Structure formats: structure tokens, C-alpha cells
Amino acid sequence: MHVFVPNLICRVKILFNFEKMGQKRVSKRKYVNPKLKENKNETEKDVHVSHNAKNSDMEDLIAAQINVDEDATDDEVEEDVVISSSDEEVEQDKVIFDSDDEVEQDEDIFDSDEDNDSEEDNDSDEDNDDSDEVNDDSDEVNDDSDDVNDDSDEVNDDSDEDNNDSEDIQSENSYEEVQEDSPIKSKDDKLKNKSKSSKSLTFKDKTSTKKTAPVINKLKNNKNHKNFDKAQMHKDAHNEQKTNVSTANDEDEYVYDSSDEEDIRNTIGNVPLQWYNEYDHIGYDWQGKKIPKPEKGDELDNFLKRMEDPNFWRTIQDPQTGQDVILSEADIDLIVRIQKQKIPDIQFDEYAPWADWFTSEVMKTPLRKFPEHKRSFLPSKNEARKVSKLVHALKMGWMKSTAEMQTEREKDKGPQFYMLWQSDDQAEEMRRIHKHIPAPKRYLPGHAESYNPPPEYLFDNKELKEWDKLKATPWKRKLHFIPQKFNSLREVPAYPKYVKERFQRCLDLYLCSRSLKMRLTIEPEVLVPQLPSPKDLQPFPTTMFMVFKGHTDMVRSITVEPEGQFIASGGDDMLLKIWEVNTGRGLKTVPCGGVIRSVVWRPNQAMSLIVVAADKKVLLINPGVGDNLITSKTDQLLEIIPQSEIIVSDRVQSAVQWEQAEGDHWNNGVRIILNHFKTVKQVTWHGKGDYFATVMPDGQNRSVLINQLSKRRSQLPFNKSKGLIQCVLFHPIKPYLFVATQRNVRVYDLVQQIMIKKLLSNSQWISSMDIHPGGDNVLVGTYDRKMLWFDLDFSKEPYQTLRLHGTGVRAVAFHKRYPLFASGADDRALIVSHGMVYNDLLQNPLIVPLKRLCNHESYNDFGILDVIFHPIEPWVFSAGADFTIRMYT
Amino acid sequence: MEIESIKKNRLKMKSKDKAMSTNKDHKDETQIQIRFITKQQQYAIPDYPLSVHSSIITDELNTLVNELLRESNDIQDQVEFDFLICSQFLRSSLIEHITDREISTEDVIDVEYVEKHPSPEPKDCLIHDDWVSAIAVCGKWILTGSYDNMLHIWTLKGKHHLVIPGHISPVRAVAWISLNDDNASFVSASMDQTCMIWSWDITKNSVECIHICKGHRRSIEAVSINYDKTLMATGAWDNMLYIWSTSTQEDDDDGESASKRARSEYANKTKTPKCAMKGHKQAISGIVWSDKTEIITGSWDHTIKTWDTELNGIKQEIYGDKCFFDIDYSPLSRVVIAGSADQHVRLYDPRSTEGTIVKARFTSHTQWVTSVRWSTIDEHLFISGAYDNIVKLWDTRSPKAPLFDLLGHEDKVLSCDWSNPKLIMSGGADNTLRIFKSNYVER
């Protein structure tokens, strides 16, 4: 850009208007053809050469300033060049736009661009101030400059004026006057401003390009745009050459070569030229020598010059150097063309034939190397969606087509009636309606209604009397009229009751029912499944027959000897008590040294052992009841500690240690002690009696331990903690382990070591569970009052959810032989239910709640803590928080 | 003694029925013809039919009979009678009784009257150290077994004579084998899985354990001696029924040397069962010899079985629907009563194979009935002790209500005995043995 600015600016002040646009154009041209830069440099050289020494000095001076100022702009432009080169089309369009009628264009652009306007205004304001100060009488100049800087509206005005009388010398004179009167300083200022404004203009243009896209499109029709550009460039070069020619005879043409530091001819810096008004020089040249002011004649000289010099009208002063410059023919032409609002370039053919950038013809090889996108062949989905919406709306009747709307509107015009009862001709249609009742038919008229009835129908006196008698109750009459005889039909009068009868008929139809409706009445009792009466499901425990008293604190756990002769219980009083079932006698008491949370008798009778969970210890106790031989054998067996070379891992070692009981413990019946690292909440035996599992809910990933009695070894079946484990149970037949966490029950195959099933309880907290002796059904009790019956073959969801208790269920138990299960809860109730499991897989288990036994007393809001069935008899034991165990039979 | 045998709420009934009868007097009641008959000769009255109003009750009949007696026999004392219609005691009004049993009111109804059983009186209370779980009476001696593993011998007068330690577990059953003036032998069965046969020198008051019967594998529940005192049968929790010889001398007919015998003195002391009978599936809780070669056992497996000792097999089975805790057989009436794991006492007839198995059900207890004993002299009377602390005296002809409630025990009644017809004894969990005097009248 910097190449062009001085060229054009240095010419004349007159050109300001034009130049402003020209600059714009130039800059744009530059976007378009950055390659031209080199050429321009060359031409520019020429330009410099063509000026005479003084002029060129001045030129250089001013241009330098501009250059300084415009560095930034330059950069911007350069950047833009880079950017724009990639975006040729757009830039192209912009050029087109510029080349077109500038008046309207600019209007549009500037109006739309307020920000730039305001910026400009500021500039112009300054400008105004300056010019006011400096030169009051140069109104026109000011006006001009204002115009230039303000907005293009005034430019238009000016240009209009110019257009009107472009050939008028008056205007030239005025220009001259301006030239003379306006001091250099002010000119300088203006130049500065101009540079600024040009900057802003470029900026403006850049923005405007974006905003004027539609305009551009419109302008695309102009086929000349390309040609115009080219022509323009040529023209410029041509002009330069011409100028060159005109000033070729100046002696200081080759004094210096300013190709490097082009514009530095006047070195006074950025000072207004009017400061030099009092001096006879206007600045300093490169070597520091004064640049002398060009000689200025007085008015007379001027006049003479005007009279004599045929070139006077085309002589202008270079504001920078003060030199007179004679405009060449080409320059004049240019100015004239601009004033006429024609394209400045003469050679530019506005109506050159249109050459498509992209032809409409299908080329054999595509112009662009990427293939057409697939979606260009596909129908628009978006539109399809919209259409389908409309179609749907039409189908649903939400929307109506215009034709329909029309018919509807027409329909609305007339009065509307509701067809009370379709006439007989539509009976066919009505028959389709279920249980339709046709409208009652009127009786056909009989002989009595004839105008000429047989004489026997006519009333005699007696009948008339009767008719009169029934006046109060006319509906009792046989006929509702008196038959009358007329000689001819002509004599028959109008029927007086016609309207009344019609109305009655309408009422009848209106109030009549039109179709038979069958109402389906379902009694709620029918929906309830037929459950057998509890009487038919005997035997089950019905009454309390025994209370085992002896504990001094809550009884937390009970267990029954497999034979059913004894039970063992333990609780908060840290004592294990063994009771005789049939008498309720406490036979033995074993102190366990900890709160007993779980007591389980060994299921296999080969050894007599009870496993007791007392706080962190698990005790294996030989109760010494039952078969003497077995108890003594058990003792013998447990005296020997089996030796094994298997090294116990640290993980297990830190979780549990086996210890042989000695001393008092041994005498009390304790045989083996397992010291756990956390409180043991539950213990359970495997059916064969060699393995037992212990549960420590706080043990995280070591919360379940499986202990082998014969080898005195413990294993940790799980590496990962699946949650707070509540209880575990061994499957009665298969090698499965049921693990109940707070919410779910997981079933693991211990042989394959995989999880087989996960039962979802859908409840907050599982408290206990028991497995049906068949192994296919699991009963789970939860603290949120529910009991869940899971059928393992059925689903992982509960087969049935029983809400029998008012509070959290503490314990659930199945009977081993009878189809019974029981549950105990904090509401003190022990609920015995019938739970029949059929061998037939198609038949679902039958669950019938049978009996609610509520004999325990509440203690600290605890009711029943454990429930267990007698192994053989249909008796159930419940351990209560009221220190007792109760037996129901 | 605070013990009192109160009459069944008869008094109450009396007053109530009187009130009712007075009401009914005003109405014209249907008359029923009855005829009084009796088996007691001293109270015989002429057997002509009498017409009474249908709502007549026992007391009115009683006064009527007494009137008739006074007329005929000059007996002046008031005698209380009970009236049997169709071999059932009249406990409600006549018409109700008749309609219940569907007897025609057109016929003359035979009303048998018997002298009322006099109420037993509490006689004594023998205090033990622990629960009294077994009682046996023979002659003037009472043998009791207790839960403190001891055997006690008392006189009928209530004097403590002897305490015998020996068992290491509670004694569950005792029985006398023989009793002479100066020598006696008895057997005790205990939860320590042994039976001990003791020889008691009365004059020296020294007791010696002659034999320890080992064989049972769990606690022994019942023991019974046969009629000629040569055999005893024991039942235990190991489901086995063992028969042992009771002879104090080891009747080994093989000629073992004396030295060998001496060497195995202890071994001789231990006795092995003569025969073992398997059949029950659960504990045998009651055993009684019904004949020389016949044993009836009651078990927890809901069956009563009749065994033949000669064939060593089951002769007959009766299936109940509850565990049997105790049975007794009466040679007089040849029927079995059984106490089971509910409130009822049931009467079974082992001979009958038809009809309902339960011949009668006696319901009045509120808890398990754990011991039943027939009267040795009356075919209709028996006693039952239950966990509701009451011993009841029953007549088989009155199934709805017992004759008497023998109150006194403060805890569960564990055992009872009526082998001495004059004395009803019961031992309980209140550590006492209660003795009631039964004023039996010969009929």
C-alpha cells in the first residue's frame, strides 16, 4: 500500500476526494493481486524519477510521514493479503463492489457501519478544529476535507457538483485558490488526518466487505469486474508513465535514487509546513541542506501566468515540496472521468463478455479435486422432517388443508342440528354399533283413525261417557282421540295436536337409551387369589407351650440340636445356655466372654459341636449333651492339632488365628477358639459339618472367612468387598455360598469360583436370610419390614414380597420338613407362614401367612431377635429381647 | 397345707342351672321318661320309669334319687350321685345331653347313677433339692428321681429315708423291681444314658448299685418292669427299645471261672440288653407292659407301637398327630391313654382296628400333658399331670371336664403316680412331690 499512497496523494489536493476512494481501491486491488507488488515497485521508481527535484523532495517528506503512520496499516494489509489470497472469490467480489456506483454503495456501507463512522467523526472533529485554527478563510478546503473525512455523502455532493460542471474552470480556480491560500501546515495536517482516515477507511472496507455480502452478490452480475481490475492496473501504470513523461525534462531526475528510502526527501519530520511560513526554506534535504521555498510570484505574476501559461489551469502545487506540478493529459482525463463518475480507467471495458469462474457446463474432469459430497445427492433430512411433521399433523387432524378449511367454513355458515336419532334408513349403519337399540316405531294408524271409519269404531253414548269419565287420566283411555267420520277427505280439518305430538315424540327419542351397555362388575374379593384356609394347612405352631427362662440379658441367637432334644442360646449376657426342649430345663451354661451374636449347632451328628460367635472370638464348644460316645470322641479328635505344612498367607493370618482352648475354657467345653480381627456377627455351618463360615461385616474385603475344622485352616473367599456383608449361608445341597450384602444376595459357586446369580432385594437393608431345604428358594428378611421370597429358578427379583411385620424383620427361618417358615421382628410378633414348594416346576410356591404369635415383651424396642424351627416337629423357637426363649407348638 | 382339691366348677353350674330351671318351671316343658338304674346295690331303687321335665340337671336328679332312696331304703344321709346317660356323665341339662348324643326322647331313657367320686385331699408335700422327674411307689416306700442326679426314698408318711447318688445326669425314670420286708431292688434311668439297678437293704438302709445297664446312646426317657418283674424295657432318645433282664444275679449260664468273674467284676456289673428293638424314628417317651410278652411304647414320632417281645417285632401301630410324652395302659379297661404335645389327653384302644383311632379326647389342660396314669382299681379313672401346674383326675366317661383339679404345684408337673390307689402323687418343677389322698369308694 505504501507504494501507492504517496503516488496518488502527492499529486494534488484536489484528488483527496477521489484519492480516498482510489486508495481504497488500490488497497483492495492489492488484496486481489499481491503479486503485483514487484511491478509496482518498479513503477514507483519511475514515479520518483519523474518528479522534479523539489517535488520529489516534498513527496518524499510527506510520504515518509505517512509511511511511518501507516506501518501498522501496512502490516494489517500484509496480513490481509495472506488471508485474502486464500479467499480470492470474496475479495474479488469486493473489488467489484467498489468499482460500481460508489455513491450508493458507500452510503449503504457507511450507514450500516456506525462504529467506523464515530471513529471517523472524531478524526474529522480534530481536523475541523485544526483547520479552523489555522485557516479560517479556507472554507472550501475545510469543507472538502471535512467531506473527505466525514462521510461519503458529502463526497457525493461534491462529486455531483463536479459532475454538473466538470469542465467549469471556476471549480479549477477554486482549487487553485485553495492551493494557494491553504498553508502547508494545514495541508500537512490534513495529510496526516488523511492517512489516518485512509487507515480507518481500509479498516472500514475490510469490515464492510463482510457486511455487504448481499450487495456483492447483486453486483456479481456485473461481468466486467475482472476486466476492470486488470484495466485499472494498467491504467495506473500508464498514468505513472505519463507523469514520468511530463516531468522527464526536470534536471534533478537522477540526483538521488530514492528506491531505498523513497519518501525521505524533506527531513523536517512530522511538523506542519506552516511553521516554515516565515522561513525561505521548507525543510531539509537528505544532506541537511535547506530545501529552498519555490519562488512564488505575486498576484500579478499569477495573473500573468494565468493569462500566458496555457498550462496554468493544470498546474497544481505539491503541498510537500511547494513545487508546481503540471498535470498531464492522462491525469486530467482521470480526474474528469472520476468527476463524471465513470471508471477512471479509459481502457476498462465495462461490458466485457462474462467469463465464468466456474462454468455451468459439466466438465469431464472436475475443476475441484475433491468429489461432490454425498449429502448433496441426498434429499434434505431436515426438510423431510418438516414435511413429515406437516403430514402427521394433517393426518391427525391438527392441521387442515386449505380445501378442508374451506369446506368447514362453508359448513359453519348454516344452522347446525344434532341428529338425535338416526332415521330408519341408517339402521344398517347403526347395526354395527354394539347392542344398538333402534328407535321405537310408531304404531301404524288403525281403522279408528280413518277419516271415514266403519261405524262400529264411532263412539256411542256409553263410550263417550267413559271418555269423559277418564278426562283426568287421559292415558287410561283406549284411544287418544274420538274417531270422527267425514264425508270426504276434504272436510278433514287440520290436526290440532300435531305440534304437541311431534314434540312428545322428540322427547321420547331424546330420553331413550340408544344402546345396551353391559357393565362388568368385579368384586374385589374375586381378584384375590384363592388361598387355602389355614385350618387345612396344619400342623403349624399355634400356641406358646414353653418359656425358657434363665438368661439375664437379650437373647440374640438360638440353635437346635439336629435331633431336636436340646437347644442352645446365647446373647448379651455372654453365656451360652443349653436347654432341654421337652422340659425347658437349662442344662448347661458356658461363659463365652463376649456378647454372643450367633450360635449354630453342627448339622452333622458325627461330632457334637456348637460354634459360637462371641465378639471377636469364635468358639467351638462341645456341649457334652447327647450321645456320650460322640462327645468323648469329639474331645479326642479336637485334642489333636493337625499339622500342616501349608503356609498361611498374611492376609488370612492377620484376619484369624486358631487357638486350642486350655484350662478353664477346656473344662467349660470350649475346644477351639478362633480369634478374629473384627467382631463376628454371624457363623454358619456347611451341611457336612467340616466347614463353617464366619462373617465380620466390618472386615471389608476380609469380611467372610471359610474355616475348615478338620485342617484348622481358614480361607478368604473374596478379594473384593462387595458391600457390608450381612450374612452368608451354604446351599444345603450344592457347593454354593449365598452372600447377603445390604441390598443384594449374591450366589457364588465355590467350585468354579464364579458368581452365579445376584438376587435384587429392592430394599434398603437385608437383615437375615434362610434357604429352603430344597435349595431353590431363599427367604430374605429386611429391616424395612419386608420379607422377600426368591425363587432361584424364577427370577432374580423376589417372587413374592411379604409385608407382614410392622417393623424391621430380624430373623427368618424355614422348617426342614414341614412347608413352614417363620419370621420374627421388633414388633414382638412371630409370624408363621405356610410356604409350600412344589416339585412341579410349573407350579409356583404357595405362600399363606398362618399365625401371628405375639408373646414376647418389648425391651429397648427390640422384640424377637432370632427364630428357628425344631428340626423335626412343627415347633418354632423365638429368642426375644425380653431375656426369654419361647417355644410354640 | 395350702393345697386344695377343688371341685370342678360344679357349684357354679348348680346355681346357674337352678336359676334356669326356675325359669323353665313356668313354661310347660316337654316331659321325658327316665328310669334309674345303678350297679351299686346299696343304692338300688325300684326301676320304674319316671317322667321328668327335659331341662332337668344333675342336682335335681340327685335330690330325686335321694328322695326315692329315702322312701325305699331308709337311708337318711344325703348321698351325692353322678348320673350317666349312655355311659357319659351328665354335665349339662338332660335335654342338651340327649340331643347332643341324638337319643330319641320318645323312649324311656336309662339313667345310671353312681356314687360320686369323693374329692381327693391334699396330704403331703415332700420338698426336694431339684425338679422331681420320676416317681415310683411300692408298698410304703416312695422312690423319686430328681434333676440333681439323685434318687430319694421316702416313706408314705413323708419321711425322707435315703438319698442315693450315682447318676451323673438327671434321673428321668424310676421303677421298683422287687420289695421284701428287708430287701428291695429298683431301677433308675437317667439322661446319662444308663440304667442302674440298685439293691437296697432296708434293715441296714444301705443301697448298692448292682448293675449298670449300658447300651443306650442317648438319654433314657422311660423304663417299665413287666408283670413278673423279670424283665424291664427302656426307651431312649436314640429311638431304641431295649429289654433287659432285671435279675440281680447275672444269669450267665456259661460256666465262667470265678477268677475271670472277679477280674471282670466291673464288667459284670455292666449289663447289656437282652434284646434291642428298632422301629421308632424318634425318642421313646413312654413304655408300658400290656401283657407278659407285649410292650406298648409311645414316641415323639407320633406313634404308639405295640411290640411283641418274643417275636422282637412290632405288632401294631397307632398313628397320632402329635408327639407322645407319656402313655399308660390299663389292664382293667385294656385301653391306652396318652399325653401328647398339646393340651389333650387321648384315649386309644390298641385292639380296635376300625373307626376313629382316638376313642376319646380329654380336654381341660392348657399346656402339654407330660404324664398320665391309670387308676389301678377303677377302669374309668386316671390322672394327668401337665405343664399348666395342675394334676387332673379324670373319668373316661366325662371327656369334657375332669372330675377334679388337683392344684398345688407352682411349676410344671413332670411326673405322677397312682400305683397306690389311695394316694395320688405328682412331682414337679417346683422341686416338690405332692401327695393327694384319694378317698376311693368301691363301686
Is A628 an 8 Å CB contact of chain B?
A: yes
Q: Is the pLDDT of residue A183 over 50?
A: no
Tell me the shortest Cα–Cα distance from B243 to chain A, in angstroms.
20
Q: Give yes or no: residues B44 and B126 share one domain.
A: no
Q: Give yes or no: residues B109 and B125 share one domain.
A: no
Whole-number Å distance between alpha carbons of A525 and B134: 56
Whole-number Å distance between alpha carbons of B137 and A572: 45
Whole-number Å distance between alpha carbons of B236 and B215: 10
Tell me the shortest Cα–Cα distance from B234 to chain A, in angstroms.
16
Number of domains in chain B: 2
Set of cell numbers at residue A631: 462327645
Is B321 an 8 Å CB contact of chain A?
A: yes
- Residues of chain A contacting residue B283, judged by C-beta atoms under 8 Å apart: 565
Whether the CB-CB separation of A592 and A623 falls below 8 Å is answered with no
Whole-number Å distance between alpha carbons of A857 and A223: 106
R_g of chain B computed on alpha carbons:
25
Express the helix, strand and coil content of chain B in percent, nearest 5 each: 10, 45, 40
Q: Give yes or no: residues B281 and B325 share one domain.
A: yes
Q: Give yes or no: residues B165 and B235 share one domain.
A: yes
Query: Out of A565, A873, A875, whose CB is closest to B237?
Result: A565
Whether the CB-CB separation of B280 and B241 falls below 8 Å is answered with yes
Do the domain assignments include residue B19? no
Give the end of a domain, one of B80, B97, B115: B115
Q: Which residues contact A703 (CB under 8 A, 6 or more apart)?
A: A678, A695, A696, A697, A718, A721, A724, A725
- Specify burial of residue A510 (Cβ count, 10 A radius: 0-12, 13-18, 19+): exposed
Domain ranges of chain A: 447-509, 544-642+649-888
pTM above 0.80, yes or no: no
Query: Out of B217, B283, B341, whose CB is closest to A627?
Result: B217
**Residue B388 carries which side chain, given as an amino acid letter?**
D
Residue A536 DSSP symbol? G
Whole-number Å distance between alpha carbons of A403 and A408: 9
Q: What is the CATH number of the domain that holds B81?
A: 3.10.20.90
Set of cell numbers at residue B11: 357349684
Q: pLDDT at position A747, please?
A: 92
Q: Is the pLDDT of residue A611 over 90?
A: yes
Tell me the shortest Cα–Cα distance from A663 to chain B, in angstroms.
22
Whole-number Å distance between alpha carbons of B53 and B28: 9
For residue A57, give the 3-state DSSP assignment.
Answer: helix
Residue A745's pLDDT band, with cuts at 50, 70 and 90, is: very high
For residue A187, give the 3-state DSSP assignment.
Answer: helix
Tell me the CA distances in angstroms from A450 to A445, A478, B215, one per residue in order.
Answer: 8, 16, 120
Q: Give yes or no: residues B183 and B129 share one domain.
A: yes
Backbone torsions φ then ψ of A4, nearest 5 degrees: -90, -35
Which of A127-136, A380-389, A408-417 has the lowest average pLDDT? A127-136
Do the domain assignments include residue B255? no
Do the chains contact at B192 and A545, CB–CB below 8 Å? Answer: no
Whole-number Å distance between alpha carbons of A579 and A808: 28
Q: Give yes or no: residues B43 and B190 share one domain.
A: no
Set of cell numbers at residue A576: 451360652
Is A539 an 8 Å CB contact of chain B?
A: yes
Is A653 an 8 Å CB contact of chain B?
A: no
Q: pLDDT at position B171, please?
A: 92
Q: What is the pairing mode between strands A809-814 and A820-825?
A: antiparallel
Do the domain assignments include residue B6? no
Do the domain assignments include residue B24? no
Whole-number Å distance between alpha carbons of A101 and B45: 157
Greater pLDDT, A414 or B16:
A414
Strand partners, A579: A567, A586
Residue A180's pLDDT band, with cuts at 50, 70 and 90, is: very low
Q: Is the pLDDT of residue A656 over 90?
A: no
Q: Give yes or no: residues B289 and B343 share one domain.
A: yes
Backbone torsions φ then ψ of A458, nearest 5 degrees: -75, 145
Whether the CB-CB separation of B408 and B125 falls below 8 Å is answered with yes
Whole-number Å distance between alpha carbons of B345 and A435: 68
Cα distance from N-terminal residue to C-terminal residue, chain A: 112
Q: Dihedral of CA B73/B76/B77/B78: which sign?
A: positive
Residue A520's pLDDT band, with cuts at 50, 70 and 90, is: confident
Query: Out of A545, A563, A564, whose CB is closest to B367?
Result: A545
b/e burial code for range B413-439 (CB count within 10 A of at least 16 → b)? bbbbbbebeebbbbbbbbbbbbbbbbe
Mean of pLDDT over chain A: 73
Q: What is the pairing mode between strands A727-730 and A736-740?
A: antiparallel
Query: Out of A564, A583, A889, whose CB is closest to B414?
Result: A583
Do the domain assignments include residue B227? yes
Q: pLDDT at position A831, please?
A: 93
Q: Give yes or no: residues B407 and B278 share one domain.
A: yes
b/e burial code for range B298-329 (CB count within 10 A of at least 16 → b)? bbbbbbbbbbebeeeebeeebebebbbbbbbb
Task: Say whether the ipTM exceeds 0.90.
Answer: no
Q: pLDDT at position A433, please?
A: 64
Q: pLDDT at position B2, please?
A: 38
Q: What is the mean pLDDT of residues A738-754?
A: 91
Greater pLDDT, A168 or A805:
A805
- Residues of chain B contacting residue A582, judged by C-beta atoms under 8 Å apart: 285, 325, 370
Query: In this predicted model, what pLDDT tens digit does every residue of A669-691 receive, in sequence order?
Result: 898 999 999 999 999 999 888 89
Give the end of a domain, one of B90, B115, B140: B115
Query: In this predicted model, what pLDDT tens digit does every residue of A268-282 receive, in sequence order?
Result: 777 777 788 888 887
Work out the angle at residue A142's Cα, subtended by the Cα atoms of residues A137 and A147, and round it to the nearest 5 degrees: 155
Task: Report the percent of chain A where pLDDT is more than 90.
Answer: 22
pLDDT (tens, 9 = 90+) of chain B, 443 residues, equals 333 434 444 444 444 444 444 444 444 567 888 888 888 777 777 778 888 888 888 888 888 888 888 777 666 677 788 888 877 888 888 888 888 878 787 788 888 888 888 888 888 899 999 999 999 998 889 999 999 999 999 998 888 888 999 899 899 999 999 888 888 899 999 988 889 999 988 888 888 888 888 889 889 999 999 888 888 999 999 898 999 988 766 544 444 455 555 455 555 678 888 889 999 999 999 999 988 889 999 999 999 999 998 888 888 888 888 899 999 999 988 899 999 888 899 999 888 777 667 888 899 999 999 999 999 888 889 999 999 999 999 988 888 888 889 998 999 999 999 988 888 999 999 999 999 998 776 65
Residue among A565, A517, A554, A465 at smallest CA distance from A875: A565
Do the domain assignments include residue B2? no
Residue A172's pLDDT band, with cuts at 50, 70 and 90, is: very low
Most confident among A112-121, A318-327, A644-653, A861-870 (mean pLDDT): A861-870
Q: Which helix (H) or strand (E) holds A65?
A: helix A53-69
Set of cell numbers at residue A661: 482352648
Backbone torsions φ then ψ of A539, nearest 5 degrees: -90, 145
Query: Out of B170, B325, B367, whose CB is closest to A582?
Result: B325
Q: Which helix (H) or strand (E) holds B277?
A: strand B275-278
Q: Give yes or no: residues B70 and B137 share one domain.
A: no
Do the domain assignments include residue B251? no
B405 alpha carbon, distance to own chain's centre: 14
Query: Out of A565, A583, A875, whose CB is closest to B283?
Result: A565
For the CA atoms of A50, A56, A59, A65, the dihedral, rounded to the nearest 10 degrees, stands at 120
Set of cell numbers at residue B372: 398320665
Q: Which residues contact A875 (CB under 8 A, 6 or more apart)?
A: A541, A545, A581, A869, A887, A888, A889, B341
Q: Is the pLDDT of residue A413 over 60?
A: yes
Give the end of a domain, one of B74, B95, B115: B115
Q: Give yes or no: residues B273 and B399 share one domain.
A: yes
Whole-number Å distance between alpha carbons of B414 and B132: 7
Greater pLDDT, A220 or A747:
A747
Do the domain assignments include residue B22? no
Q: Which residue of A has its CA nearest to B221?
A: A582
Set of cell numbers at residue A213: 455480502
Q: Is the pLDDT of residue A229 over 90?
A: no
Whole-number Å distance between alpha carbons of B328 and B236: 17
Q: pLDDT at position B88, please?
A: 82
Q: pLDDT at position A155, please?
A: 40
Q: Give yes or no: residues B108 and B126 share one domain.
A: no
Per DSSP, helices labelled H in A663-777 are: 664-668
- Residues of chain B contacting residue A583, judged by C-beta atoms under 8 Å apart: 131, 133, 412, 414, 429
Whole-number Å distance between alpha carbons of A276 and A811: 114
Q: Give yes or no: residues B187 and B160 share one domain.
A: yes
Q: What is the pairing mode between strands B336-340 and B206-214?
A: unpaired
Q: Is the pLDDT of residue A260 over 70?
A: no
Which of A40-54, A626-640, B121-135, B214-228 has the lowest average pLDDT? A40-54
Residues 84-143 of B with CB under 8 A from A: 131, 133
Helical packing angle, A15-32 and A139-149, nearest 10°? 20
Whether the CB-CB separation of B269 and B209 falls below 8 Å is answered with yes
Whether the CB-CB separation of B210 and B161 falls below 8 Å is answered with no
Domain containing B63 equals 30-115
String of DSSP letters for A108-174? HHHHH-HHHHHHHHHHHHHHHHHHHHH-SS-HHHHHHHHHHHS-HHHHHHHHHHHHHTTT-HHHHHH
Phi-psi region of A683 (alpha: psi -120 to 50; beta: other; left: phi over 0): beta
Whole-number Å distance between alpha carbons of A872 and A539: 12
Q: pLDDT at position A711, please?
A: 86
Domain over A544-642+649-888 is classified CATH 2.70.98.30 = no
